[in-house]
Amino acid sequence: MSQIYDRSDSKVEIEGFEARHYDLLMNLITAGTYPFFIRRVVRDMAIQPQDAILDLGSGSGRNACLMARHLSDAGRIVGLDIGVEMLAQARRRCRHLPNVTMEKQRIEETLHYREEFDKVFTSFVLHGFVQEDRLRIVENVYRALRPGGQFLILDYDEFEPEGSFWPVRYAFRHLECPLATDFVRRDWKAILCEQGFGHFLAYRYYFGYLRLLGAEKLEVGGEG
Ligand SMILES: C[S@@+](CC[C@H](N)C(=O)[O-])C[C@H]1O[C@@H](n2cnc3c(N)ncnc32)[C@H](O)[C@@H]1O
């Protein structure tokens, strides 16, 4: 029988020590490899100089700063996050970047953006929501993207945690947000197809346990 999850299972809202030292903790957990990994991801995103990018759950702003390096003055990034400490770090870190703005916003609530972004990026955020809220986020993304724009999800790949390499199995059993188990068992291409996305691309990292999944917003009547 499949497990039922609710919002109390989520661990994705980060505060206190973990929020203030989030980047350092990620570096430690990945034995110092995170900065190289995230640079590679940003390269794989194929950002164009004039891109308008929406970053959902923008965290400490580290990713926004890296993405901004690929933009001209005509490009821009809007980061949305709910964590006060995360937002403070991000604003501090991006203060010298006039084309990056950070706003306090819950990403599962209806967003007001309509067809104004070329890319919507979200990293290590989506797995922490119940499926109902994930679908609300996907609907927000669909509305925010221009036709042909790309939804880029950096998160766990699809796999069975109980059958995975023991440290991953241990992390999923004891450390990671319980909703992550639900996330990795789902067929995300099929879900995104139903929501109007297609033309998928995928890059894999860390022995295939992480994936950057790109999905294009199709023109109405288009094919995946
Ligand atoms: C695991 S961190 C990832 C941060 C960043 N994307 C990164 O990869 O470094 C998750 C982020 O999502 C934010 N978050 C959690 N729930 C949120 C929500 N409902 N709306 C907006 N942001 C949220 C947290 O504050 C945190 O910054």
Closest Cα to atom 13, ligand 1: which residue? 57
Residue 129 Cβ inside 6 Å of ligand 1? The answer reads no
Percent of the chain with pLDDT over 70: 97
Eight-state DSSP code of residue 221: T
Global pTM value: 0.95
User: 198 CA to middle of ligand 1, Å?
Assistant: 25
Residue 153 Cβ inside 6 Å of ligand 1? The answer reads no
List the single range of 6-20, 134-148, 186-200 with lowest mean pLDDT.
Answer: 6-20
Q: Which atom of ligand 1 is nearest to the CA of 133?
A: 19
Three-state DSSP class for 120?
strand
Is the per-residue pLDDT at 174 higher than 50? yes
Residue 13 Cβ inside 6 Å of ligand 1? The answer reads yes
Q: How many CB atoms lie within 10 A of CB 57?
A: 24
Q: What is the pLDDT of residues 30-48, one digit of tens each?
A: 999 999 999 999 999 999 9
Q: What is the pLDDT of residues 203-224, one digit of tens each?
A: 999 999 999 999 999 987 655 4
Cα–Cα distances (Å) from 159 to 33, 86, 111, 167, in that order, read 22, 30, 31, 14
Can you spell out the DSSP letters for 33-92? -HHHHHHHHHHHTT--TT-EEEEET-TTSHHHHHHHTT--TT-EEEEEE--HHHHHHHHH
Taking Cα atoms as reference points, which of 42, 98, 41 lies closest to residue 75?
98
Q: What is the pLDDT of residues 103-129, one digit of tens each?
A: 999 999 999 999 999 999 999 999 999
Cα–Cα distances (Å) from 190 to 7, 57, 187, 206, in that order, read 23, 23, 6, 24
Q: Ligand 1: which of 7, 8, 12 to mutate, most ligand atoms within 8 Å of CB?
A: 12
Identify the pLDDT of residue 224: 46
Domains of the chain: 9-217 (3.40.50.150)
Q: What is the pLDDT of residues 179-201, one digit of tens each?
A: 999 999 999 999 999 999 999 99
C-alpha span between 112 and 144 (Å, rounded)? 8
Residues facing 53 on adjacent strands: 77, 119
C-alpha span between 18 and 14 (Å, rounded)? 6
What torsion, rounded to 10 degrees, do the Cα atoms 47, 190, 208, 9 define?
Answer: 100
User: 63 CA to middle of ligand 1, Å?
Assistant: 12
User: 58 CA to middle of ligand 1, Å?
Assistant: 6
The pLDDT of 60-79, averaged and rounded, is 98
Identify the pLDDT of residue 12: 87
Is the per-residue pLDDT at 55 higher than 50? yes
Q: What is the pLDDT of residues 82-92, one digit of tens each?
A: 999 999 999 99
Residue 21 φ then ψ, to 5°: -120, 25
